[in-house]
Amino acid sequence: MSLPSWEAWTCVWGSRIGDTLNYLYSIPHSIATAILSFLHINLPQLNYLLTWVIASIILLVVVMVNVIILIYVERKELGRFMDRRGPFVVGPAGFFQNFADAFKFLIKEMILPENADGLGFNSTLVIVVASSMLIMAVVPQAPDFYYTNTDLGLLLAFAIFAIEPFAVVIAGWASNNKYSLLGGFRSTAQMMSYEVPMLITVLSVVVLAGTFNFTQIVNYQASHVWFVVPLIIGFIVFLISIVAEIERIPFDTPDAEAELVHGWMTEYAGIKFALFQLTSYVRSFAGAAIMVLIFLGGWTGPILPPILWFYIKVYAVFTLFVWMRASLPRVRIDQVLNLGWRSLLPLSLVNMLIAAFLKIYGGVFHL
């Protein structure tokens, strides 16, 4: 049996070869071509791999820059909500406070608890960080700025979202700490409770748009109406579910410091703890981006460039996350689970019925 051809191995990017409209391909491809030309190397396979590596680095930098800004924005907005200034000492308007905190975590000692499972304890960090970064690889940020544009992008994004609960249970068990284990169980139960209504809500969007492709969903909204209008119930369900999925207040019971020290992250210290905190903001960024793409018209908007509209909407949704954090108290774990199964699940089914009705009789409403 012969091995697959090179074209078969490169099928993920095959449709993008020569796509000069996608800057996340054309710019890395130009850089890779220039490097190989300078070295007098003419290997298409090496050009492809180098383009992939450069595009990955650019995407990582873009995500990290946005995460740093999100952390700063949250601190300043929380200050406003709580009638204080927020960070203002380190750097202009306190912007460099994030870097000071990162340096503080960097110089702290990383400790492996006694009798802990070293493989499970350390591999959890890799799984959580890698899966969080991977989500952004399937989320387009503009019609001319995307890493991959697959027909199952929406489904793939939530499949990657679902990886973390398994890693969290491993972290809780491997830490050899009762608080960590309890936090891991809480996290898994909470994510299962909210992934079901969230996926049903996503399915209602797919019913109307007829596709799992992010770009096509955005294009459908551009030619019809933003899905937040006909599926307002689904928008609310998705908002609550995504906040619970990324374990932000008021749904941060898995790492409630007043009950569980710091939940499943209790035994992680130094840069490991910092990376877990960083990935929570990556997931917040990804969750806000997905909300914008499937409910708020994505990058569509007048006058301004599409990518600018995308970031304006993402930061507006993130501000809503911060507003919820500043306004709502933490709820008990039993209340969290009851809300997911007894309230959001029925509402998501109602939203699905509305989507089905609009799909059948949508011509009357121009949907």
pLDDT higher at 30 or 20 = 30
Domain-located, residue 218: yes
Residue 337's nearest CA partner among 168, 196, 167, 157 is: 196
Beta bridge partners of 145: 142
Domain-located, residue 83: no
Is the distance from CB of 136 to CB of 65 less than 8 angstroms? no
DSSP single-letter state for residue 145: B
Domain-located, residue 103: no
Domain-located, residue 167: yes
Longest dimension (CA), the chain: 70
Backbone torsion region of residue 79, taken as left when φ is above 0, otherwise alpha when ψ lies between -120 and 50, otherwise beta: alpha
What is the distance in angstroms between the CA of the first residue and the CA of the last residue of the chain?
50
Residue-wise pLDDT for 294-346, tens only, equals 999 889 888 888 889 999 999 999 999 999 888 888 888 888 888 888 899 99
The number of folded domains in the chain is 1
**What range defines the domain where residue 216 resides?**
131-365
Domain-located, residue 8: no
Give CA–CA dist 140/305, Å, rounded.
15
Give CA–CA dist 365/282, Å, rounded.
37
Residue-wise pLDDT for 155-186, tens only, equals 888 888 888 878 888 888 888 888 888 888 88
Residue-wise pLDDT for 251-297, tens only, equals 887 776 666 667 777 778 788 888 888 888 999 999 999 999 999 98
Domain-located, residue 290: yes
